[in-house]
Structure 1
């Protein structure tokens, strides 16, 4: 799941074409990063990330009253940038009506990287409840989204829309009962409105269990209307859901002996979606640029007991990779990902080596590429993004 305040293959449109032989390399930029994290669009450039990305998803727009709405007006388009913090090195204009915020910074970034595409992502863990109302009138919802994404105030920022519905006809923060065809109807309406000149994508569940969230929705039928799916192959095992353990890697690529839930691993989700009829090239494998952790742990190997979530900078049980690589270096590997036991804390996260191997898996499976949640968790020189973009 993403944090928020988290069929037949279509002929690629010009907006889909990339120059990266390894496929799409997408990463999310969260609007709230500009606050406590002090991570701005300029950091995407100075870290070297922009040159490695084919697409950026801007998270999140809200879904309310059956419509797409702005998530954070100040961060999105109102906050003025001075010369030192802007991508261009020029302060934002003070003329009335001038575009500010991250939207203007993204415009500047695209000028430096003309091939880079940006999508506006709507929903997320916190704001997915609005999709239930949106599904009652998909055409009206699609109309509102198109008008907002293509608003003249930020013309040229966005190349399409990403829908992060957690989860259609299933439960996330809230439960949706719109039916197994609701997601398809919404997707069809979005494609009809956005046409083929703009991208329409979706972040979807990676629940590979029998009778789980993938089975609750007809993702194969809906895939006809999407350029691709971002399969959220992370957050399988977290301390928030199981505070006393067992400890387990939050993003295992494959199963392992003792895995707490069969089907909770990346390969299970990918193969389940493929068997259902979603084309491989429409699936992007997800990586987390963060770790999940427990405290009160005595056992190094996965499967130990705990007393609760480990302390995190912004949220208990969660920490950025850029922090963990120094405070709790990896000292174990399992199921294609890394883990670390440091004192009484136990963390799992991807390192450059495991991230690169996951990108290799995506390529070997004929997937459309890889994506990451989210850019601020990487190091100042983009260690993780560099690893996945080289495959």
Structure 2
């Protein structure tokens, strides 16, 4: 699987490691005219998110503030934002930033942190005096409200009702959350949500807020499907899977909502979210900002509702949650590895059980556990060479897949993207793909990138040939040979997906139109030399011929090969005739704005 470069210049992380936080000055003034109140806004068992709110209750401005508190042993702050936080033993101190220290009479400011452990703050001080907020200690957060019930469902609205929450000081109001995003705050225990889309699935929860503005845990969820409309899955029983890249939200400006506007969401069955990283033998989230913190405006959001600063989940994960509510047939898998991040698999293979446990902890993180239906492993390449070389042995891949299946169980999808090197003694022969297939739902066979300008002087050749042909630069480097070899090793045809690239590979300095010409280097590309999206090539360098089931184009000094709707149709017919489980593609953003390549895959497999 190709791993593109991310353009992250200018982005600032919101969560600051404690190691980077500066020391604190002494409290600036007494706290007789201000209060500090605490709320635990999230709790995921082994950790939590907390928020302090400082309010000026006096008649004169406050120029700075310092909040101090004690945590019991075993509870600590791991990262913080909007304040500088330090500790001495179990005593914690938070000092205002340069930009949020001044509070006019009646004004308030909040800062937050992520914590480890389960304890609550005690002995609160604000600017050296009493916090006077009544929330720490002695004011508990409210209970969870009752699970909502739905009534009066129409094409565009639903009425919700729920049992009241309880609190030792009284309930102030309730937040109504749709798909984890707050859509209303009400004082009653009913709410009618309007402006919905016909024939669409939604999920609602409710949380209470007490008179100190502390929020309690969310209620259970109620699923609602509006009347009318249709979000029927694509026809047939074949897998139609696309990769969505985490970094595509930057330079490519490609977001989950593009799957809706292009029409692609109604034509696929599965999404692989790429990529999680593999570090120290464990699965980890790579770009946390893109994954779960980037805020979306109403017009950018799948649901049409803007993200708020205090909602529990934002970013791609929340958008995928909204997509699944709208298209309930779609399953989402979290893909780990890829070309750049495969170096960590050797350590993971040394302890498959520990690796699998770490992956399940990421996939089932309470903040987004409902988003993912499985895990995809993109190890490039076990017991062979990719960006780096692996020597973990031919059994390592099978052992890793066995560990994942044992940990995730039968209710999760477990898949892998694998080599398509069908040559004798090549990468397929380096690992036990046949034995490992017993533990997997399917393989994404990467039947592309066979040839390209990584051989700068050519010969020019299609990067995704379906079959061999006279003059092919390397025997076994084609889809048919790869699929045949995997079948011969015992992999059932139904567990093999044919790979399609939504991009082309090209050379420059080429004078020959037919394949086999010499070149001087890589053709210019928008993001990387030698590579260009289909959506660009279809107009900038239209196809001039076909070979081995894929298209090529000679324009000026440049020569490109790529798949078109017509060649994809041919490949899908071949996949059906081979009784394959379906097809997958890399990746959504290379398609046209109306999703013509996705349409070709969906229609060809129907």
TM-score (norm 2): 0.62
Tell me, yes or no, if structure 1 residue 127 matches structure 2 residue 352: no
Which of residues 297, 312, 331 is equivalent to 1:82?
297
Tell me, yes or no, if structure 1 residue 244 matches structure 2 residue 437: no
Per-residue Cα deviation, 1:55-87 (whole angstroms, up to 9, x for no partner):
000000000000000011111111010111011
Which of residues 575, 579, 583 is equivalent to 1:366?
579
Partner of residue 296, structure 1: 509
Tell me, yes or no, if structure 1 residue 216 matches structure 2 residue 426: no
Give the Å deviation of 1:238: 1.1
The 5 A counterparts of 1:154-169 are 154-169=368-383
Q: In structure 2, the residue corresponding to 1:114 is in which secondary structure?
A: coil
Give the Å deviation of 1:317: 0.2
Partner of residue 239, structure 2: 24
Native 8 Å contact 1:4 1:127 kept in 2: no
Partner of residue 201, structure 2: none
Tell me, yes or no, if structure 1 residue 52 matches structure 2 residue 245: no
Once residues 508 and 314 of structure 2 are traced to their aligned partners in structure 1, the CA distance between those partners, rounded to angstroms, is: 42
Partner of residue 105, structure 1: 319
TM-score (norm 1): 0.95
Once residues 116 and 243 of structure 1 are traced to their aligned partners in structure 2, the CA distance between those partners, rounded to angstroms, is: 40
Partner of residue 190, structure 1: 404
Native 8 Å contact 1:128 1:167 kept in 2: yes
Which of residues 525, 541, 550 is equivalent to 1:337?
550
Give the Å deviation of 1:360: 1.1
Which structure shows the bigger proportion of residues in strand conformation?
2
Q: Say which structure, 1 or 2, has more relative contact order (CA 8 Å, 6+ apart).
A: 1
Partner of residue 539, structure 2: 326
Once residues 261 and 498 of structure 2 are traced to their aligned partners in structure 1, the CA distance between those partners, rounded to angstroms, is: 25
Give the Å deviation of 1:22: 5.2
The 5 A counterparts of 1:367-386 are 367-386=580-599
Which structure shows the bigger proportion of residues in helix conformation?
1
Once residues 237 and 411 of structure 2 are traced to their aligned partners in structure 1, the CA distance between those partners, rounded to angstroms, is: 23
Partner of residue 349, structure 1: 562
Partner of residue 392, structure 2: 178
Give the Å deviation of 1:204: 0.2
Native 8 Å contact 2:462 2:561 kept in 1: yes
Per-residue Cα deviation, 1:66-119 (whole angstroms, up to 9, x for no partner):
0000011111111010111011111013225x2011000000000011110000
Native 8 Å contact 1:4 1:124 kept in 2: no
Give the Å deviation of 1:2: 2.5
Tell me, yes or no, if structure 1 residue 311 matches structure 2 residue 515: no
Give the Å deviation of 1:19: 6.0
Native 8 Å contact 1:167 1:176 kept in 2: yes
Once residues 189 and 103 of structure 1 are traced to their aligned partners in structure 2, the CA distance between those partners, rounded to angstroms, is: 26
Once residues 43 and 218 of structure 1 are traced to their aligned partners in structure 2, the CA distance between those partners, rounded to angstroms, is: 38
Native 8 Å contact 2:264 2:598 kept in 1: yes
Once residues 106 and 365 of structure 1 are traced to their aligned partners in structure 2, the CA distance between those partners, rounded to angstroms, is: 32
Per-residue Cα deviation, 1:332-387 (whole angstroms, up to 9, x for no partner):
10000000000000000000000111111111100000000000000000011100
Give the Å deviation of 1:310: 0.2
Once residues 596 and 569 of structure 2 are traced to their aligned partners in structure 1, the CA distance between those partners, rounded to angstroms, is: 10
Q: In structure 1, the residue corresponding to 2:429 is in which secondary structure?
A: helix
Once residues 22 and 354 of structure 1 are traced to their aligned partners in structure 2, the CA distance between those partners, rounded to angstroms, is: 22
Native 8 Å contact 1:55 1:119 kept in 2: yes
Partner of residue 14, structure 2: none
Per-residue Cα deviation, 1:172-219 (whole angstroms, up to 9, x for no partner):
000000000000110000000110101000000000000000000010
Per-residue Cα deviation, 1:287-318 (whole angstroms, up to 9, x for no partner):
00000000000000000000100000000000
Q: In structure 2, the residue corresponding to 1:128 is in which secondary structure?
A: helix
Once residues 589 and 571 of structure 2 are traced to their aligned partners in structure 1, the CA distance between those partners, rounded to angstroms, is: 20
Equivalences, count? 378
Once residues 151 and 3 of structure 1 are traced to their aligned partners in structure 2, the CA distance between those partners, rounded to angstroms, is: 25
Native 8 Å contact 2:234 2:602 kept in 1: no
Partner of residue 229, structure 1: 443
Q: In structure 1, the residue corresponding to 2:424 is in which secondary structure?
A: coil
Which of residues 360, 377, 381 is equivalent to 1:146?
360
Once residues 517 and 299 of structure 2 are traced to their aligned partners in structure 1, the CA distance between those partners, rounded to angstroms, is: 48
Native 8 Å contact 1:5 1:126 kept in 2: no
Once residues 396 and 527 of structure 2 are traced to their aligned partners in structure 1, the CA distance between those partners, rounded to angstroms, is: 35
Larger Rg: 2
Tell me, yes or no, if structure 1 residue 285 matches structure 2 residue 488: no
Once residues 356 and 433 of structure 2 are traced to their aligned partners in structure 1, the CA distance between those partners, rounded to angstroms, is: 18
Query: What 5-or-longer segments of structure 1 have no aligned partner?
Result: 7-17
Tell me, yes or no, if structure 1 residue 117 matches structure 2 residue 294: no
